[in-house]
Amino acid sequence: MASPTMKTTDLSIADVIDLGVLQRIQDTFAQAMGVAAVTVDRGGRPITETSNFCRLCLLIRSTDEGLKRCQRCDAEGGRRALAMNRPYAYNCAGGLMDAAAPIMIDGYFVGSILCGQAIPDDAQENYIDSIVRHNVPLGLARDSIEDAAREITPLPRERFTAAVEMLSITANYVIEMGVAKLAQTELLNQAQEQAALKVALQEAQLRAFKAQINPHFLFNSLTLLGYTALEEAAPRTEKIAYDLSDLLRYSLRNISTQVELGEEFAMIRQYLEIQKVSFGDRLSFSVDLAPELDHFEVPCMIIQPLVENAVLHGAEPISRPVNIRVRAFSAQGRVVLEIADDGVGMPSEIAERINAGAYASESDSLGLQNVLLRLVAEYGDTFAAMATTAPDQGTCLRLFLPVEAASVEESRIEALFPGPVANLIGNQLDFSPTHAGTPPSPAPRYTTRLLDGVSDHRVDHPIEDIDLEPIEAVPA
């Protein structure tokens, strides 16, 4: 979607993503997963400050040749991840375990996010010997290299695999932030020239909304993952990680689609399970879907912002326990979606506007407003909403949908990562020797264009002087 108002050959991550937000995402990811992380451009040059880097890598990068080699290695890791259309794990040119996930903005490869600087706990001595051999030619003292390598805490391979999966989810989130901002910027620029582009601007706002996951929730959940991992040996940590992974996959993949209520409610249940870990006994919930509505289709991510409002505005401001109830049932020939809590309560003026059908107001919650406006655009006059609220007694919001939705034009917005939820990131991560040489083919609509005249190398040509070993290759 190259706009005539933008020079696509100049596109970079900094053009479309707030680097401060990107730095916070990267720092939190590195802290939670116990690995180092950095975001680089197409040539492997860092565009963020390094996160959790080990002393060994800082020592290597302190030499001119070591820095150049690391940047070429990072660029090649990102190139291979792009060609494979999934995260790529490898032994880097310095001898450590690393992984890269490509960042594609609107079909253009603009850089990569990398994590690693790890040594596996089942081959520590082999890796240390290899690290010394790889880096002595840089002019570094053998003892200094070995001492720095031994400071690195060995990592179980399954923990590194989990970090790579979370790396991919994090990269996808960064991608969607960039896509949303790019779409908004382009359409806003055009709207200044042509007032008739109001409809296109609304589509961009819709795309941005459906691509968004509250950064506050992402940061807190990743940090919580790290703290829980320190606190106990596995079960709760595993559940949080899987629930969060599924939730992020769902929100990032199902862009501009209709989904079954069964899927939507499963995602809501996972979202509330994660929030309950944070709130503890202060939060309880029930999620009830009438069996006959399991396959009823609704716009994707239509309930989650309303449930999030109930958590953040209904439960978080008070110290007493709060119960959140999410239901879907049939009544009087309509499908009713109900989100209720017994918390703080909604301002009465907002409830009055909802009941009057006035859904757009600068003072109202952006999430609530977007949901209501999306449903109006989807169902027209057949949609209705009703809100009841009382101070310190809670809020009940009901959405009334027609049993048979009117036919609407199929969205023109393509997902960057198309495909069913069952065939996403986790199922693509396979580090077994059997599959090491047979990466999956790129998804049909996942275009891989490099920006002409800007990159140091093309996607289909490796960097000749960098040899990345597959992660299964344990140094001899």
Hunting for tokens 């069952």 — which residue is that?
A: 422
Give the per-residue pLDDT at 365.
Answer: 65
Q: Percent of the chain beyond pLDDT 90?
A: 41
Q: Which of 348, 383, 402 is the last residue of a domain?
A: 402
Q: Per mean pLDDT, which of 59-73, 151-165, 371-385 is the most reliable?
A: 59-73
Cα–Cα dist 194/187, whole Å:
10
Query: Are 163 and 270 contained in the same domain?
Result: no
Mean pLDDT for the stretch of residues 338-358: 92
Is residue 210 in a domain? no
Cα–Cα dist 191/200, whole Å:
9
Task: Among 50-54, 70-74, 205-209, 265-269, name the one with the lowest average pLDDT.
Answer: 205-209
Give the per-residue pLDDT at 283.
Answer: 94
Of residues 5 and 242, the one with the higher pLDDT is 242
Query: Are 312 and 387 contained in the same domain?
Result: yes
Query: Are 390 and 451 contained in the same domain?
Result: no
Q: What is the pLDDT of residues 220-245, one digit of tens each?
A: 565 566 566 566 665 666 667 666 66
Give the per-residue pLDDT at 217.
Answer: 59
Cα–Cα dist 372/378, whole Å:
10
pLDDT category of residue 198 using cuts at 50, 70 and 90: low
Structure tokens belonging to residue 66: 């070591």
Is residue 325 in a domain? yes
Give the count of domains, the chain: 2
pLDDT category of residue 38 using cuts at 50, 70 and 90: very high
Q: Which of 402, 432, 456 is the last residue of a domain?
A: 402
Give the per-residue pLDDT at 178.
Answer: 73
Q: What is the pLDDT of residues 448-470, one digit of tens each?
A: 333 333 333 333 444 545 667 77
Is residue 245 in a domain? no
Query: Are 453 and 327 contained in the same domain?
Result: no
Give the per-residue pLDDT at 57.
Answer: 95
Q: Residue-wise over 406-426: b if at least 16 C-beta within 10 A, else e?
A: eeeeebebebbbeeeeeebbb
- Domain extent, residue 374, equals 257-402
Is residue 214 in a domain? no
Give the per-residue pLDDT at 188.
Answer: 64
Question: Residue 63 CB: number of other CB atoms within 10 A?
Answer: 15
Give the per-residue pLDDT at 369.
Answer: 83
DSSP string, 139-182: T--HHHHHHHHHTSPPB-HHHHHHHHHHHHHHHHHHHHHHHHHH
Is residue 429 in a domain? no
Query: Are 337 and 461 contained in the same domain?
Result: no
Q: What is the pLDDT of residues 365-398, one digit of tens each?
A: 677 888 898 898 889 889 999 999 999 999 999 9
Q: Enter the DSSP assignment of 42.
A: T
Give the per-residue pLDDT at 212.
Answer: 53
Q: Per mean pLDDT, which of 121-125, 269-273, 401-405 is the most reliable?
A: 121-125
Give the per-residue pLDDT at 249.
Answer: 63
Q: What phi and psi values does residue 325 have, to the nearest 5 degrees?
A: -120, 125
Is residue 143 in a domain? yes
Of residues 194 and 79, the one with the higher pLDDT is 79
Give the per-residue pLDDT at 159.
Answer: 87
pLDDT category of residue 7 using cuts at 50, 70 and 90: very low
Query: Are 19 and 77 contained in the same domain?
Result: yes
Of residues 128 and 234, the one with the higher pLDDT is 128
CATH number for position 382? 3.30.565.10
**Is residue 406's pLDDT more than 70?**
no
Query: Are 453 and 342 contained in the same domain?
Result: no
Instruction: Decide the pairing of beta strands 283-289 and 322-331.
Output: parallel
Mean pLDDT for the stretch of residues 98-112: 85
Q: What is the pLDDT of residues 278-312, one digit of tens each?
A: 888 999 999 999 999 999 999 888 898 899 999 99
Of residues 2 and 326, the one with the higher pLDDT is 326
Query: Are 382 and 449 contained in the same domain?
Result: no
**Is residue 61's pLDDT more than 80?**
yes
**Is residue 422's pLDDT more than 60?**
no
Is residue 289 in a domain? yes
Structure tokens belonging to residue 407: 């036919």
Give the per-residue pLDDT at 452.
Answer: 33
Give the per-residue pLDDT at 382.
Answer: 93
Mean pLDDT for the stretch of residues 167-174: 80
Instruction: Give the closest residue to 98 by CA, choosing from 167, 45, 150.
Output: 167
Query: Are 391 and 303 contained in the same domain?
Result: yes
Residues 89 and 97: beta-carbon distance below 8 Å: yes
Mean pLDDT for the stretch of residues 342-352: 92
**Is residue 114's pLDDT more than 60?**
yes
Query: Are 340 and 445 contained in the same domain?
Result: no
Cα–Cα dist 380/400, whole Å:
12
Q: Which of 376, 402, 428 is the last residue of a domain?
A: 402
**Is residue 72's pLDDT more than 80?**
yes
Is residue 415 in a domain? no
Query: Are 18 and 167 contained in the same domain?
Result: yes
pLDDT category of residue 442 using cuts at 50, 70 and 90: very low
Q: Per mean pLDDT, which of 6-20, 93-107, 185-199 is the most reliable?
A: 93-107
Q: Percent of the chain beyond pLDDT 70?
A: 65
**Is residue 471's pLDDT more than 60?**
yes
Instruction: Give the closest residue to 54 by CA, choosing from 33, 37, 77, 74.
Output: 37
Query: Are 99 and 45 contained in the same domain?
Result: yes
